[in-house]
Structure 1
Amino acid sequence: MGRIYSLDYLRGLAACTVMFGHYYAWYYHEMDSENFLQRLVTYSVCIFYILSGLTLYLVNARTFKLDLESFTAFAIKRVVRIFPLLWLCIALTILYSGWPHWKIILLNLTGLFGFTQYSGGIAIASWSIGMEMVFYFTFPVFFLLLYYKQYLLFTLLTALTFAVGYYYAFVLISPDADIHVQWNKFYIKPLNHLYLFAGGIALGYFKKYFFYPKQTLLNISIALCLVAFAIYPTEPNQSEQIWGYNRLFFVVLSFALCWCFAVSHWELPNPIHKTLHFLGEKSYSIYLLHPIVFHFFKISYLATSLKYGLSIGCTLLLSYLVYNMIEKPAMNWGKEVCRKLTTPLPA
């Protein structure tokens, strides 16, 4: 199927939201759960996980099978997409933060820290990349259940992931405890987010059955979701946004936004389309590079507002360069390797 540019738009906007929110918190002051931007930052990462499951299903729907070629191609494409930039960010972070233990380095270089040491990511914000690696290992299970029409098993497995997410939100996480303690102890564990990835796969599968309303209605729905993010009442404690019914409400909004963008059929003016497509393409770079850019600006004597603006500009510029010099060549190389794997040898 053709590329769904609206999903690129959402991915790029989510990455920029994380960047804007982090820079605001780091340069000015931390935000609490009542802050609209803070909520969007937290749930933009959740949107990444939903989009990951959704797009992986759509991309592999016609090609993934129960054979070695499919598993090998899937692994190669994920490795070349994730690791080159991750390795770069690990190296840059080590340059200014010092050498961690060699076991930590090994876990980060292989992506295995997501399986064993959830808070052990060297690069800031890479905890979510470790979590993605765990999700990639579960993807063939979910996908093949759908491929072989084992709908009951898929439903039960997906429901189980939602039940586990419910257990984390309502039992393990407390609205009164310190956010930093709960973040490392419970929140960044893969089981706490697997339901988002599984739900994204379900959205991808059922996309062909979706009701496609008029774009005006979708635009209104998107606006209402954002208003709901802004006005929903919570206590100031940051843990409030990841706990219980509050979390349930924000997760529903996150799925709703992904659905609205997945079925949208915008025909945007070219400058807006190019800008949003640019942000979507560079979203991974924006997400991983912005903490590194912050480190080099925070020690300067520039005015805070100037550092904020320069950090955003430099992040976008650096993301453009890294995408074209590292990410894109790596992806093209991976595609070529996969093509050779599937090309029959001459007789």
Structure 2
Amino acid sequence: MSDSRAGGRIECLDGLRGLAALWVLVGHAHILTGFKVPVIGDPELGVDLFIMLSGFLMVFHYQRRRGREPWEATSTWVTFWVRRYFRIAPLYYVMLVAALTLGPFIYDARMVIDAFNGVPPQLASRYLDSSLSNYLAHFSFLFGVSRSYSFRTALPDWSIGLEMQFYAALPFIMLIVGRVGWIKGITGVAALGALAAYLSHRIGYTFVMPTFLPLKMHVFAAGMLLAGALWTNERRAYLFAGFAGYLVIAPLGGEMDWLHQITRIVLVLTFFALIHTARLPSAAAKMARPVSEWLGNRFFHNLGELSFGAYLVHLLIMQPVIAYLIGAVDVSAPVRWALTLLITVPIVYALAWVGYNFIEMPGQNIGKELTKPRASA
């Protein structure tokens, strides 16, 4: 792990990002085709993995840059926010316009799907609201804290609003951690999040999806702890992992049955094992290290790079495909699910590749250029 702290690459992160996006895609295919399979058929758990990864990655980079970008400096905060904005916003804005433009078409497909599956139909406002206020709420990323706009496009962008709230809060969280330490700091942040979630619920300010940061702060915090553990001794690293496992089963922001809770704990322990292989017992390390390295190969690196685009675009492609299959072929739910993936996955990742190369990368380069240190005159 010393290489990682010094600036080396943690091999498994690309693969975990890629698999998280694929998990969400496969999970939505399960739900929309009526093919019910536990765990792998639940996109919520894939999103939780994404959230944990986000908490980890933000702290990992924050820690590595601390020498040249002190946590206390407001310039560090501005640099961080600019980088993250240009990482997320360019592709998101393009996909947002596409989703709101295609809203009526996607809505018609969803009505076919919901009727076929015998479930209550989606609200028309989620797909058909192309008002200026909806555009402004989403372009400003304020939609995540609004009950009216947090779930009002055909994109799965409720988690994007959540992510942007986390970015806004992170510099202040790191200040707290820097002053009082990891355990006290994360305990305080998680407790404040839980209190805010409780008070929000008590006053009736509730959300269709857990798009309000306090509802998922504990999952971000779990990932943050696993990153912070890289800069601790072995004993404290295991303490951080145990605390992270405890955090993810807090009864907030998602399904709380035993299967979901066990899966969340398994995600934490697996994540810890893959990024802290040097601290595992030798027998466990021999099993974990090859997996970690495998998840860092070229295929998984590319899968991870395309994860954001695939996450954003997949429902725009999948819902019309499933609606077409419902009308065109009479097959069982598992076959419909398999056909859906066979058609959807190549299209989604082809579009994600285009978005990555022609929108994401240029956007990231703008962010890097804007935050590049300038030579003094």
TM-score computed with the length of structure 2 as normaliser: 0.71
* Secondary structure of residue in 2 paired with 1:44: helix
Equivalent residue, structure 2, for 1:73: 79
User: Are 1:278 and 2:278 counterparts?
Assistant: no
Check the 8 A contact 2:11/2:296 in 1, yes or no: no
Equivalent residue, structure 1, for 2:39: 36
Q: Tell me the amino acid that sits aligned with residue 277 of structure 1.
A: H
1:211-250 aligned within 5 A? 211=234, 242-243=255-256, 246-250=259-263
Q: What are structure 1's unaligned runs of at least 5 residues? A: 173-182, 213-224, 226-240
Structure 1 residues 306 and 267, CA, compared in 2 at 3 Å: closer, same or farther? closer
Q: Tell me the amino acid that sits aligned with residue 47 of structure 2.
A: V
CA distance in 2, matches of 1:148, 1:254: 29
Q: Tell me the amino acid that sits aligned with residue 271 of structure 2.
A: C
Check the 8 A contact 2:12/2:296 in 1, yes or no: no
1:174-323 aligned within 5 A? 184-185=207-208, 187-209=210-232, 211=234, 242-243=255-256, 246-264=259-277, 265-266=289-290, 273-300=297-324, 304=336, 305-323=338-356
CA distance in 2, matches of 1:155, 1:96: 42
Equivalent residue, structure 1, for 2:49: 47
Q: Tell me the amino acid that sits aligned with residue 320 of structure 1.
A: W
TM-superposed CA distance for 1:91, in Å, is 1.0
Q: Tell me the amino acid that sits aligned with residue 13 of structure 2.
A: L
CA distance in 2, matches of 1:138, 1:258: 24
Structure 1 residues 317 and 245, CA, compared in 2 at 3 Å: closer, same or farther? same
Equivalent residue, structure 2, for 1:59: 61
TM-superposed CA distance for 1:121, in Å, is 4.1
Q: What are structure 2's unaligned runs of at least 5 residues? A: 1-6, 104-127, 236-244, 246-253, 278-288, 330-335
Equivalent residue, structure 2, for 1:93: 99
CA distance in 2, matches of 1:271, 1:11: 10
CA distance in 2, matches of 1:272, 1:2: 13
Q: Deviations over 1:215-253 (max 9, x none)?
A: xxxxxxxxxx9xxxxxxxxxxxxxxx7126554433322
TM-score computed with the length of structure 1 as normaliser: 0.76
Deviates more, 1:111-120 or 1:146-155: 146-155
TM-superposed CA distance for 1:92, in Å, is 1.0
Q: Tell me the amino acid that sits aligned with residue 169 of structure 2.
A: T
Check the 8 A contact 1:15/1:287 in 2, yes or no: yes
TM-superposed CA distance for 1:152, in Å, is 6.4
Identity of aligned residues (%): 23
Deviates more, 1:48-57 or 1:190-199: 190-199
Q: Tell me the amino acid that sits aligned with residue 67 of structure 1.
A: A
Check the 8 A contact 1:121/1:130 in 2, yes or no: no
* Secondary structure of residue in 2 paired with 1:242: coil
* Secondary structure of residue in 1 paired with 2:172: helix
CA distance in 2, matches of 1:203, 1:109: 32
Equivalent residue, structure 1, for 2:140: 110
Structure 1 residues 267 and 261, CA, compared in 2 at 3 Å: closer, same or farther? closer
Structure 1 residues 190 and 256, CA, compared in 2 at 3 Å: closer, same or farther? same
Structure 1 residues 314 and 328, CA, compared in 2 at 3 Å: closer, same or farther? same
Q: Deviations over 1:235-281 (max 9, x none)?
A: xxxxxx71265544333222222212322444888898111111111
- RMSD over aligned Cα atoms: 3.3
Q: Tell me the amino acid that sits aligned with residue 316 of structure 2.
A: I
Check the 8 A contact 2:193/2:214 in 1, yes or no: no
Q: Tell me the amino acid that sits aligned with residue 253 of structure 1.
A: V
Structure 1 residues 202 and 14, CA, compared in 2 at 3 Å: closer, same or farther? same
Deviates more, 1:2-11 or 1:264-273: 264-273
Check the 8 A contact 2:55/2:221 in 1, yes or no: yes
TM-superposed CA distance for 1:184, in Å, is 4.2
Check the 8 A contact 2:159/2:211 in 1, yes or no: yes
User: Number of matched residues?
Assistant: 304
